[in-house]
Every structure is written in C-alpha cells, then in structure tokens.
A and B are shown apart, each in its own frame.
Chain A
Amino acid sequence: MKPAAMAALRLLGGVILAGLVWEGAVVAFGIRPHLLPRLSDILTAIAFTPGAYWAGLQRTAAETLIGFAAGTAVGILNGLVFFRAPLLRDMLLPVFIVSQTIPVIAFGALVVMWFGNTLLAKAVIAFYLTFFPVTVNTLLGLNSVDPKQVALLRSFGATPRQILLRLQLPMALPQIFVALRLGASLSLVGAIVGEWFGDNTGIGVLLLQAMYNENVEALWAAILCAALLGTAFYALVAWAERRIVFWGVEQ
C-alpha cells in the first residue's frame, strides 16, 4: 500500500510540474493562443461548462468500456475456437484480416446507417477495433504453450478441456494482455471516431465542435479529457494485468 501511495504522489507531482512548465512556457515565450493556449485558460473553459465535459466523459467511457468488454470476450472466444478448429481458423482469419483493412471512418459511416446515433453504434466501432488483436494474440498465446507442458498434463490423464483451462488459457494470458493494452487505446479511438458521425454527447463531439469552430481552448479541453480517459483506462488494464499475470512473462 505504501509504495503505491508514493507512486501516486510522484505521479501527481509530475502532472503538476508538467502543468507549470506548460503555463510558464506559454507566458514566457509569448506563444499565440491558437497554437497553444495557457493551461489555466483551458481549465477555465472546462470550469465554465463542467457539465458538458462530465457528460461527454461519461458517455465516451461507457461506449469504450462496452466495446472493449465485447471485443475482449469475442476475441478470446475466437482465439479458442480457432485454436481448437484449425480449419475454421484458415477459413475465417483471412476474412477478419480483410475486415480490419476497412478504414475505421468508412466502417463508422456504415455503423451509423445500421445502428443510428446510439451508444451501441459507438460500442460497435470500439468492438471492431478491439476484437481482432485480442483474437490474434489469444491464438498466438495458446499456440505458444510448451508441448512438453501439454505432454506432462496428458501423462496425468488430463482431458483436452482440462489442459485448456488449467494450462493453455492461463499460459496465454500474458499474450492476451498485450492485446488488451492495445485494445484499451484502440477502443477509445473507436468510440471517439464513432462520435464523429453526428451525435450530441461525447468527447468526440466536443473535439469536433471545437475543431470546426476553431475554438482552441475547447479543443484542448476535449483533448485533455480524452487523454485523461485514455490514461485512466490504460492504467486500469495495466493494473489488472499486474494483478492477474503477477508472475510476469516467464520463458
């Protein structure tokens, strides 16, 4: 508990220091506000309409989390199915790969036609960006299990199901978490891009409005919110990884 508190304190110190350097640099070098506004002006912009940023943060977080959770579940399931059914893998994996070559902007336009401006639509885009790396890494992780280890369990009389649950799946976890960390960032990107297709609430909406109105303070305010959300989510996944894959990446 103590080292964690120290780390949090150090992080806070770092953030405050970075903020001071930002503020100081803008003032000292007379940087024009449309290039980089003062941090205090950005925070003032947020404080002026905190409700809008809070609502945006919540909405985007919900879209990201739902998409991420679905992408993780489906990705792991895909990985398992492909691992157990190589024929299915050879048939479907190329299709998945092709699906990933669709630019997310184009995919977003389709999703809006299918699902309208719903939370679900954004979650679908976040899902679309998440499930593929999780699928691939799950498969990779399952395939990388030492055959000698499998042989040992077989010698104990283990069934394929027991081998999967007691050995292969846990052994694939470090590899899966690599994809989850990537997915944490990608799902946020997916949710934000999804909000660029005509919606009223979300960090992506705030970004777009600020950008096209050339409202630099609002733009930076939205960027700060996105960074906050992205960092928090990534940290959450990294924390879960440290807790679950506590043994580190052995072998």
Chain B
Amino acid sequence: MPKPPSPLLELRGLSKRFGAVQALDSFGLDVQPGEFVTVVGPSGCGKSTLFNIVAGLDEPDDGGILRFKGRGCHARELLGQVSFMPQRDLLLPWRNVVDNAILANEIEGANRREARAKALSMLPEFGLAGFESQYPHQLSGGMRQRVALMRTFLFERELMLLDEPFGALDALTRSMMQRWLLDVWQRHRRTILFITHDVDEAIFLGDRVVVMTARPGAVKLMREVNLPRPRAPELLTAPEFTAIKREVLDAIEEEAMKSFISGTGAAP
C-alpha cells in the first residue's frame, strides 16, 4: 500500500495503562488529510481512551509516538487543536441552541456576535432552522446530537473526533443522521475519526474501517472501503458492501469470542 507523504495524524506503539487495566497496547494508525476513518471494536477495548489521547485530555504511556501535522508532540499540546465530540452531547442546559453551538468559539475568544451569525446561517444545514432559541431540555435526542455536531463543526479544526455520536439514537433517526453527516462532511471536507460499534455504520461512512482487538486495544484489521461516494441507503444490501461486512464481522467475532472467554475465565 503506497503511503501518501504526509499524514495529518500518526500514531505508533501507543499504550495506556490505568492501574491494573491495560487499555491500549501498541496501537498504531495513520490518518490522511480529508479522510473519514471509522473505528469499531468490542466495548471496553479502549476506543474512548484512544480519543482522549488524541484530544489531548490524557497522556499516553512513555514509549509511544504521537505526531500531528508532521510534528511529534505531547498529547496535551493537542488541547484546542482538534475538534472533539464525546459520546454524550454534553450540552449546557442554560444555553440555547445557538449559544451551545458557539461554546468552543467563545472559549477560543471569537467575537460572540460573529460566531452567532455564523451558527445561525448553519442551522438549516443541521436541521435546526427555527430552533435557535430553544433550550436543550426542549429538544429531542436527535436534535441535541445535531447541536453537538454543529458545535464540533463550528470549532473549525482539521481533525474531528466523533465518539459514537449516533449511539443513543433509534435506528431510523440514526440512518438519516448518517446520510446527513456524509453530506455535511463532503461539503466541509474535514478529516474525521469516528468511533462506532455498529459495523454497518462503520462501513457506510468510512473510507477505511479500523477493527480493534479486545482489551488491550490494538489494531486487529485495517480495511479500505473502496465504495463510491455519494453513498445511498441501497448500498447496505449491495454485494460489495456485504463482502466487506463479512470480513469485518469475522474479525470482530474473533475478538468478541476472546474477550468473552477471558471474561468468563474458561479455557478455549
């Protein structure tokens, strides 16, 4: 596989231990500018840990290499450099939709009026037109998630980390959100690292799917998704799609089995 010269993010031999728990073990991954990489793996395998490191919230253990825009750095230097969306929307209940969306811009010292104007102009794109003055407790789960995504998009960084953004949504809303996200991504062209435990979602969205091993997390399978874009819902039943899905599922199955057995303590 010929590697393009300058990845946006390079991770090599990244490990992280919490006391007795080895969450990540020698994790490695390159992400190219503009790429949409999805990460799947059994729950508890270290996906969020990986994101926390890339977001700058946690330092990896000594020995690993972390390079961003071609420069080696500490994780903490990434604070404010990547646009991070955690698993829950974490909207602030006293801020309305617009003010929640511009939270990150406000923190980096942007002019509040300009940021608001920009957010207002983006509302229709995020399906939030007319909801600018609503408060989180007045919104549905799908809308809250879209506000959180808008906050992430408005914080204009080359790399976006989305941790199971649709995990809590019902199936119908979820598939609508997936197509919508692709649409938005295609227009804004950011680099996205996207965690999910839904294999369909991983393949449907990604340029590449990374399957992680059971804890301690490492790369089990790296699979290019060479399906044409824009992607339509019918793709989910296309044979090329199911072929990739078979491959990914096999890898996940193996890991799930491992973690199940180690979890119950039974011999193979």
A and B touch in the complex (CB under 8 A): yes
Asked if B107 contacts A166 (CB within 8 A), the reply is yes
| Cβ of A151 under 8 Å from chain B | yes
Contact of B56 among A146, A148, A155, A166 (CB under 8 A): A155
Contact of A167 among B55, B56, B92 (CB under 8 A): B92
Mark each residue of chain A from 138 to 154: 1 if its CB lies under 8 Å from any CB of chain B, else 0. Answer: 00000000101101111
Tell me the interface secondary structure of chain A in the complex. helix
Q: Which of A220-251 contact B (CB under 8 A)?
A: 245-248, 250
Q: Which of B41-96 contact A (CB under 8 A)?
A: 52, 55-57, 79-82, 84, 86-88, 90, 92-94
Q: Least Cβ distance of B94 to chain A in Å?
A: 5
| Cβ of B137 under 8 Å from chain A | yes
Contact of A157 among B79, B86, B87, B136 (CB under 8 A): B79
| Cβ of A40 under 8 Å from chain B | no
Contact of B86 among A151, A170, A246, A248 (CB under 8 A): A151
With CB as the reference atom, state the residue of chain A lying closest to B108.
A157
- Residues of chain A within 8 A (CB-CB) of B137 are 247-248, 250
Q: Least Cβ distance of B102 to chain A in Å?
A: 11
| Cβ of B37 under 8 Å from chain A | no
| Cβ of A99 under 8 Å from chain B | no
- Residues of chain B within 8 A (CB-CB) of A146 are 90
Asked if B57 contacts A157 (CB within 8 A), the reply is no
Query: What is the size, in residues, of chain B's interface with A at 8 Å between Cβ atoms?
Result: 25
| Cβ of A212 under 8 Å from chain B | no
Q: Least Cβ distance of A250 to chain B in Å?
A: 5
| Cβ of A162 under 8 Å from chain B | yes
- Residues of chain A within 8 A (CB-CB) of B56 are 154-155
| Cβ of A158 under 8 Å from chain B | yes
Interface size class of A (residues with CB under 8 A): 20 to 34
Question: Which of A149, A156, A167, A170 has most chain B Cβ within 10 Å?
Answer: A156
Mark each residue of chain B from 97 to 124: 1 if its CB lies under 8 Å from any CB of chain A, else 0. Answer: 0000001101110000000000000000
| Cβ of B155 under 8 Å from chain A | yes
Asked if B107 contacts A157 (CB within 8 A), the reply is yes
Q: A170-B94, A247-B93, A250-B93 are in contact. Are A153 and B86 (CB under 8 A)?
A: no
Q: Least Cβ distance of B77 to chain A in Å?
A: 11
Q: Least Cβ distance of A245 to chain B in Å?
A: 8
Q: Least Cβ distance of B164 to chain A in Å?
A: 13
- Residues of chain B within 8 A (CB-CB) of A154 are 56-57, 79
- Residues of chain A within 8 A (CB-CB) of B136 are 247
| Cβ of B185 under 8 Å from chain A | no
Q: Which 9 A-B pairs have the closest CB atoms?
A: A157-B80, A247-B93, A155-B84, A156-B104, A155-B55, A156-B107, A158-B107, A250-B93, A151-B57
Residues of B within 8 A of A (CB): 52, 55-57, 79-82, 84, 86-88, 90, 92-94, 103-104, 106-108, 135-137, 155
> 5 A–B contact pairs at CB < 8 A?
A148-B86, A152-B84, A156-B107, A248-B93, A250-B93
